[in-house]
Structure 1
Amino acid sequence: MKRIIVPLSVLMITTSLFISCKQQDKGEARVDALIKQMTLDEKLDFIGGYQDFNIRGIERLGIPEIRFADGPIGVRNYGASTAYPAGINLAATFDKESAYATGKAIGCEARAKNVHVMLGPAMNIYRAPFCGRNFEYLGEDPYLAGQIAANYTQGMQAEGVMATAKHYAANNQEFSRHHTSSDMDERTLHEIYLPAFKAAVEQGHVASIMTSYNLVNGIHASQNDYLINQVLKHDWGFDGFVMSDWVSTYDGLACAKGGLDLEMPSGKFMHPDTLRPAIENGTLDIKIIDDKIRRILRTYIRFGLFENPDISKGYVPDSQLVRQTALNAARSGMVLLKNENSFLPLKKESLKTIAVIGPNGAPLNSGGGGSSKVEALHPLSLVEAIKEIAGSDVKVEYAKGVVTKERLPNSFFESFKCYTKLDGNKTPGVQADFFANTKLAGDIFVTNTYPSLNLTATDMAMKGLPENNFSARFTCYFQPEKTANYFLGVSGDDGYRMYLDDKLIIDLWQDQGETSQHYQTKLMAGKEYKLTVEYYQAGGDAIIRMNVDAKTSIEIDTADVKNEAIELAKKSDLVIFSVGFDAETESEGFDRTFEMPYQQDQLISEVLAVNPNAVMVLNAGGNVNMEPWYQGLKGLLHAWYPGQEGNLAAAEILFGITNPSGKLPASFEVKFEDNPTFKSYWDADKDLKVSYDEGIFVGYRHYDQSETKPRFPFGFGLSYTTFEYTNLALNSNSIKSGGKVTVTVDIKNTGAVAGSEAVQLYVSDPKSALPRPVKELKAFGKTTLQPGETKTLSFELDKAAFSYYNPEQHVWVLEPGEFEILVGSSSVDIRQKAVLTIQ
């Protein structure tokens, strides 16, 4: 029998990133000397971003220019990169070593592109399935999220690349994210929404923190003194720098005093014109500015950037090692949710024909949308992966089954020619009327003319117009050269509407990342048509594009596409559904639906009616409404957004080459009404406040105390083998307050194939002064076992595992008494129990 030690954190930082106290003192002295040499203008310029993704250098002082890149699941900028599994997939591995390896691999690729600061990991809490960024985040449990984030950070920074923990804090919904306040009590904030960041700071030693777009308890996160100065910098001792998310600052002086060290992507609000007068009149102490610079330069010394600003030497942007890391993480994080009568794994010899049906079958659907989206170096679709694994003796065919609305390429918007009628004359271009609000209300701020409607934030920037709070009405006229069916397209970030001759034909008036819509209609040659596009910008990127094109117009009959899939299903031995969400329907900037888009539910139901031998590979950042089709499936594999190697991992699992071992990092409700946020997730009264009424009872903490049970509990995941838990033991049944206890348990593979098990340890406090959850995850570890093999896992629990936050005392407290130690395979499948007394 083998023995495995699983500490609370896998501390794997290379020694090169540790510096002695003497070296640290020299570093601080060097920073102080540089600050003294900087002029006031240099100081104020330094704390504002430069060229969107840089911190400016100061050549005369030898301060190098520093380069940033998105994001948490691959190096998005500067060309194609390895597309890694999304954060939610990484959380589903329940594997700290996988998190470390992923962070390290991304760090390697960042170095190859000479990127010094990566904008990840993302670690906000999964509160409800709608949040457009859930796929980037690390699940519903703060301990799980914290441990995955800390180890990811350690791996990345071991490669000499700074990690950035984001988005601090409480970015748990994307709708109206620039304007909505996440309102909660102090205990909820400290027990649920801050611990992952604390772990990234105290265990991961993260170099930087990024604030969120939203407000927290009525104060913007980027200027929130309580969150940044009091909690992060004072209480946790964070000595790195705090940056804003891109275009998420609103008041330069408030940000400066509130603890923000770096405004990105530029110093628009923390600008010299704003801060210099405040310093000169005594409103702002220059020591505050010096501290910001000190925090930034301190990280340069820690990561050796003064001596070695070009960190790309010896690194390549693509290697078999990083591809293998991405594949391993995808394999380990996929969760088998259903396997009726052991229908899986599939047997090649019993199959002659396979139908892959659904919009995600091809091409690769590697990740959700927004700033985390990576252009994959080696895209592999599920159809291609199934063909590869099934072999040449099995015929694999594909039918999309639904009509999707894919984002139109930028080149589509460059050719359309139209004219305005300003002053009664026909002038080439588009008339643009801007308003200094998001509602097209009041007087026109300014009227401009553009050659075409293909505009970004730079095109629309003008003095006096709010960067994140404006709207515009674009008007033009055109005459088609020929009678034909035309394709009218709009793409925008945020909301937009299109009118043809004053008739509304496209309506997507909501906060969102860039999304495309199109409308098809017959237009007559020589007839004049009026086109109007209304647009508003609420935050993030500002993009609005429009075109009319006959060449791109293809009449697609939705019924024909679905019928093609049904006919294919009829003649196939097996159906593999490849369905769910994609980068257009699940993305930062807006919240998604519980139901899958593109009428996929109807497609699945009709296909199941003609061929019940069907399994599903589901892509989503969380739960979806499974009611219409769950009972009819033989198998269900939740693949999340698994990155460029993920479809190979899914095919391996379906055919038994890889044994599934992922566990759900979030509880999956039967219907949204079962979720504790059902009455409070949306801003129903439009007061721009979201009240976290469920308090600390998020996810399984809610279901444990509720009569309503989820479809699948937190920590759940099936395997092709079975595991036995025995011999739970404590090294002491009684410890003093503040002491530690070691917990051991034996895990045996009692099945016929090798497999990995994610062992979960929960702590229960049956009696406390304040209400506590029935149990809380406090340790976990993953182990791989051959058939018949047994291993002992060991966990060490300290004071933090038994404490809760007391809002009256404003501290974490540990009450003496009896605690239960619960070890199991999920939050409801508890296999072993023990009692610990804390004196």
Structure 2
Amino acid sequence: MAADSPTDPAAIRAARAARARALLAELTLDEKTALLHQHAPAIERLGLNAFHTGAEALHGVAWLGTATVFPQPVGLAASWSAELLTRIGEVVGVELRAKHAADPAVSLNAWAPVVNPLRHPRWGRNEEGYSEDPHLTAELATAYARGLRGDHPVFWRTVPTLKHFLAYNNETDRALTSSRLRPRVLREYELPAYRGPLEAGVIGAVMPSYNLVNGRPNHVARELLDELRSWTPESLLVVSDAAAPGNLVTFERYYPDHVTGHAAMLRAGIDSFTDNDADARPTTTRIAAALERGLITEADIDQAALRHLELRLATGELDPGLDPYAGISADQIDLPEHRALAREAVARSVVLLANDGVLPLGPDQRIAVVGPHADRVLHDWYSGTPPYLTGIASALDARLPGAVRTADGADRVALRSTSTGGYLRPGVDGVLLADGPDAGPEAQIDVTAWGEGIVTLRSVATGLLWSGVGWVIRADAERVGGWVAQESFRLHRHDDGAWSLRHLGSGRWLRVQHGQGLLAADAAELADAERFTLRTVRHGHTHVAEVSAAADVVLVAVGNDPHLLGRETEDRPHLRLPDEQAELWRAAREANPRAVLTVVSSYPYALGGLADQAAAVVWTSHAGQELGNGLVDVLVGDVEPSGRLAQGWPADESHVGDLLDYDVIEAKSTYWYAEHPAQYAFGHGLSYTEVEYTALALDTADVDPDDVVRVTVTVANRGERPVDELVQVYAASPGHRLPVPRRRLVAHSRASLAPGETRDVVLTVRIEQLSTWDVSSGRHVVEPGRHELHAGPSSAARPLRAELRVAGQPVPPRAALGAVLRLADYDEQEGTALAERTLDAGDAVQPAPGRRSGWVLLRSMDAQGARGLRVTLARTGPGAAQARVEVRESIDAAGLSAAHDDAAWQPVGTAEAPAGGGRYDWSDVPVTAEPLTAGWDTLAGKVVDVRVVLTGPVRAGELSPTP
């Protein structure tokens, strides 16, 4: 950009686009095509360096060596602070620039933030998201992205990428499962998380997710990607997820070959193909073949290449003398202010879930810290390499020297080989040898159980974990890590009491090799595994009980290892605390009732009665290098607890529903629709004082849909300590004609109150936040009538209520005559699935897998003047494939359950899908003969509900009333 560059944002974007077009005109076809792979080569004559998309920056710079590591996003969200997340984003952006200064191959395209709403707590990647509320997710993601992007009008510090678009909340068969999203769920729950950051103009790229939505892979969801782009003023690069281009053929079998699949992705709006690692040849060859076959045009290639160039221009690649971020040097990593911010972030993300007065800890108390997280700080897959680690016990010991004792709860054992007679011990380079003379310290192993029979094994002599990288087992790992964790094992006890071990990374059993006696994972069958005699040197639970009994207070630090039993590629098996950790908790509490259940985890647990036994319950995410210091700041009362849950903790596993059911309305999931109270609700979190909510006032109660209401909430600190209270306002719409959220967050604000202080907290609520998606008009509407606002400290505790009266016209019935009514816009359904109408666009309805029939219900259709009906049908196989239409006089919300009462419906007629067609061969078929049956005549001229029952291998697209 020239020194006299424009300052108006629109003019800046126009100038960048013009410059990108000029660059594009200088490129050959091969050069343009080469830009479309993740690893793009240099074009030296134009000053373009080698470039690749993607640097992981989820909660710090990852995979690029030492960098500041902040709490996981699910922890950061507990701060409910956009200001904090912007500051963290700034530090991460600076450190990514510093990595780029040290190595220009480091991409400035940051693959963060993740904005998938945390619909289901069993999702393996729960740690990566912010909240179960899409609007809070959008607010926090916008803030983090704003920090990454920077505030210069022309140049971007880094270019943030939203992940993962769309409806992605399961790792189980993630490249094969289709998320059923009817329009209301899509528009009300899923899309807002993406729209907020895009409209803010702080996002420069988006990554589609592996899964399908309504039968269509997200990497070819052209309609949704087009709409996504319509929300942002910025040019938007769409980058594929890793290996997703190949998935279209190899797993999803959506296209017959890779050339066709790549062409469809390009036409749909994918600009960068992340496939085959650094080898671009398969991608460029397939795109060239698609062009030759006429599946794409050069204009398709140009459009993608242009977006790529615009992104690179935004980073200042061709303007180092003007780019204000080019001066960030390679040594701007782990600065003192970065460490201070990491510590602040931990403290502000800690949530005090319960407390009977045992916290804060006193200065003269003896403290026991027990459990697998007593002094251990763990990493997740997207963590960077922290410059140091501070565990809970170490931080407490620094604060209370000599008052802290620790027990991690591991069983300390020694294993003697029955084939060599020697004990396993680490030799040179940590190689495990079965030649130890005795069960002394050199041969001792700490066994930590993480649940479901999975253990890690740590050499007492070296302090390092056993690892199975390669086939030789070594005690050489500092932590569990890697795409396939190599540090996890399973113990098997034989009927005769002997033990064998299985390495889970390879799936092979351990065997002592003849000759040198080294241990290797090379036995395919249990029968060939080495058999060991196990001696317990110290029982973990006994040690925990001893240490706990000698303390005034015991912190029982339990939770997950982020690489085991819940992570990318693996959903959680359940929501319970692992049995072994629950038993460790019981051992500690039985020895000392002043026990604090201290949970360090990537996700919520259903703690049940364990929480009821605790003197206090505290949660933190895996919070990075300052975990211990930040948590202890809160535990001892140097920092008042201010964290609040951005994701509720269920009271029972059964309350969260099916992992694969994305219809939050029908499944009654998330705090919006849940019928069961959570153990710890969305928004919940305690302080060390008592806050009373005393009054709620509105500046007006009579409003229009486009109004803004000022809400005043009066809160009082009744205690003797200061408090940082999170005042929350929720909306409800009792008596609404549709199922709507029981409660949904519409405003929140912090209030710092001194002891005894009372304060009025003023918040604003936009009435449009009460809207629902009207499937008949295809827009958000706020329906007239009575609505409510509630205020309180959580979604469950809302002691104050005020009524709103919204003016306007009711939503009219669906305009029927002459209209085409999409059956995917149903109000209710049973036994159906949403599927792709064509390979490229549209939605259809069909019986769900494993079901022979199912139905969809369209409410409130104006039957005036309609004397016939046609339904658009296609087949999915041979045999009878029918759509049966039934009607009844329309009923209001009070009669919703009548949809399932077959006696309430009058038959109209049936339509048969023509024989011989395929799933994309659509035909408009009349329903029975005209005029229609008496059932329709009785309701002619009235507003009716229509139920379409599908039976057999049939797909239905639209219903069309005719004169």
TM-score above 0.5:
yes
* CA distance in structure 1 between the partners assigned to 2:313 and 2:667 by the alignment: 40
CA shift for structure 1 position 329: 1.8
How many pairs does the alignment contain?
A: 712
Partner SS, residue 830 of structure 1: coil
* CA distance in structure 1 between the partners assigned to 2:510 and 2:480 by the alignment: 12
Determine if the alignment matches structure 1 residue 681 to structure 2 residue 681: no
Q: CA, structure 1 residues 697+508, in 2 after alignment: closer, same or farther (shift >3 Å)? A: farther
Partner residue in 2 for 1:834: 802
Unaligned runs of 5+ in 1: 1-15, 406-410, 418-452, 456-475, 510-514, 536-547, 683-689
Partner residue in 2 for 1:105: 91
Partner residue in 2 for 1:685: none
* CA distance in structure 2 between the partners assigned to 1:246 and 1:779 by the alignment: 37
What is the identity, as a one-letter code, of the residue corresponding to 1:277? A
Kept in 2: contact 1:153–1:163 (CA 8 A) = yes
Determine if the alignment matches structure 1 residue 226 to structure 2 residue 223: yes
CA shift for structure 1 position 527: 9.8
Structure with greater Cα Rg: 2
* CA distance in structure 2 between the partners assigned to 1:199 and 1:90 by the alignment: 18
Q: Cα deviation per residue 1:286-341 (whole Å; 9 max; x = unaligned)?
A: 2222222222222333343320278353461121222222222211111111102x
Find 1:211's aligned residue among 197, 203, 208.
Answer: 208
Determine if the alignment matches structure 1 residue 295 to structure 2 residue 266: no
Q: CA, structure 1 residues 413+744, in 2 after alignment: closer, same or farther (shift >3 Å)? A: farther
Find 1:355's aligned residue among 354, 365, 368.
Answer: 368
Kept in 2: contact 1:70–1:120 (CA 8 A) = yes
Partner residue in 1 for 2:17: 28
Partner residue in 2 for 1:322: 338
CA shift for structure 1 position 800: 3.4
Partner SS, residue 86 of structure 2: helix
Determine if the alignment matches structure 1 residue 261 to structure 2 residue 258: no
CA shift for structure 1 position 615: 0.8
Determine if the alignment matches structure 1 residue 652 to structure 2 residue 633: yes
CA shift for structure 1 position 284: 0.5
Q: Cα deviation per residue 1:659-688 (whole Å; 9 max; x = unaligned)?
A: 11111112211220122x2xx216xxxxxx
Partner SS, residue 75 of structure 2: helix
* CA distance in structure 2 between the partners assigned to 1:631 and 1:831 by the alignment: 24
Find 1:619's aligned residue among 585, 600, 624.
Answer: 600
Kept in 2: contact 1:17–1:158 (CA 8 A) = no
Determine if the alignment matches structure 1 residue 249 to structure 2 residue 245: yes
Q: CA, structure 1 residues 691+653, in 2 after alignment: closer, same or farther (shift >3 Å)? A: closer
CA shift for structure 1 position 355: 1.6
What is the identity, as a one-letter code, of the residue corresponding to 1:345? P
* CA distance in structure 1 between the partners assigned to 2:230 and 2:696 by the alignment: 39
Determine if the alignment matches structure 1 residue 803 to structure 2 residue 771: yes
- Structure 1 residues 765-784: aligned runs within 5 Å: 765-784=733-752
Q: Cα deviation per residue 1:345-371 (whole Å; 9 max; x = unaligned)?
A: 11122x2x3221111122323x4x22x
Q: CA, structure 1 residues 518+531, in 2 after alignment: closer, same or farther (shift >3 Å)? A: closer
Partner residue in 2 for 1:383: 393
Q: CA, structure 1 residues 306+722, in 2 after alignment: closer, same or farther (shift >3 Å)? A: farther
Q: Give the structure-2-normalised TM-score.
A: 0.68
Q: Cα deviation per residue 1:31-52 (whole Å; 9 max; x = unaligned)?
A: 11111111111111101111xx
Q: Cα deviation per residue 1:109-144 (whole Å; 9 max; x = unaligned)?
A: 212212512211112122222211111111211111
Kept in 1: contact 2:351–2:641 (CA 8 A) = yes
Unaligned runs of 5+ in 2: 101-106, 152-156, 247-260, 414-426, 434-467, 808-963
Find 1:335's aligned residue among 348, 351, 368.
Answer: 351
CA shift for structure 1 position 711: 1.1
Q: CA, structure 1 residues 414+194, in 2 after alignment: closer, same or farther (shift >3 Å)? A: farther
Q: CA, structure 1 residues 524+62, in 2 after alignment: closer, same or farther (shift >3 Å)? A: closer
Q: CA, structure 1 residues 697+673, in 2 after alignment: closer, same or farther (shift >3 Å)? A: closer
Find 1:374's aligned residue among 376, 384, 387.
Answer: 384
CA shift for structure 1 position 758: 1.2
What is the identity, as a one-letter code, of the residue corresponding to 2:560? F
CA shift for structure 1 position 518: 8.6
Q: CA, structure 1 residues 779+610, in 2 after alignment: closer, same or farther (shift >3 Å)? A: same
Partner residue in 2 for 1:73: 59
Partner SS, residue 594 of structure 1: coil
Partner residue in 2 for 1:307: 319
- Structure 1 residues 564-603: aligned runs within 5 Å: 564-585=543-564, 586-592=566-572, 593-597=574-578, 599-603=580-584
Find 2:129's aligned residue among 114, 126, 137.
Answer: 137
Cα RMSD for the two superposed structures: 3.8
CA shift for structure 1 position 831: 3.4
Partner SS, residue 309 of structure 2: helix
What is the identity, as a one-letter code, of the residue corresponding to 2:631? A
CA shift for structure 1 position 720: 0.5
- Structure 1 residues 507-586: aligned runs within 5 Å: 525=515, 532=522, 557=536, 560-585=539-564, 586=566
Kept in 1: contact 2:485–2:563 (CA 8 A) = no
CA shift for structure 1 position 519: 5.9
- Structure 1 residues 138-537: aligned runs within 5 Å: 138-158=130-150, 160-203=157-200, 205-229=202-226, 231-234=227-230, 239-250=235-246, 251-264=261-274, 265-266=277-278, 271-308=283-320, 311=326, 313-314=328-329, 316-340=332-356, 342-349=357-364, 351=365, 353-365=366-378, 367=379, 369-370=380-381, 372-389=382-399, 391-392=400-401, 394-402=402-410, 493=483, 525=515, 532=522
* CA distance in structure 2 between the partners assigned to 1:526 and 1:111 by the alignment: 49
CA shift for structure 1 position 635: 0.9
* CA distance in structure 2 between the partners assigned to 1:181 and 1:733 by the alignment: 43
What is the identity, as a one-letter code, of the residue corresponding to 2:362? K
Kept in 2: contact 1:149–1:204 (CA 8 A) = no
What is the identity, as a one-letter code, of the residue corresponding to 1:638? W
Kept in 2: contact 1:151–1:204 (CA 8 A) = no
Partner residue in 1 for 2:924: none
* CA distance in structure 2 between the partners assigned to 1:533 and 1:834 by the alignment: 69
Partner SS, residue 244 of structure 2: coil
CA shift for structure 1 position 379: 0.9
CA shift for structure 1 position 190: 2.0
Partner SS, residue 742 of structure 2: coil
Q: Give the structure-1-normalised TM-score.
A: 0.77
Kept in 2: contact 1:123–1:165 (CA 8 A) = yes
Q: Cα deviation per residue 1:627-666 (whole Å; 9 max; x = unaligned)?
A: 3522221111011222211221211211111111111112
Kept in 1: contact 2:161–2:206 (CA 8 A) = yes
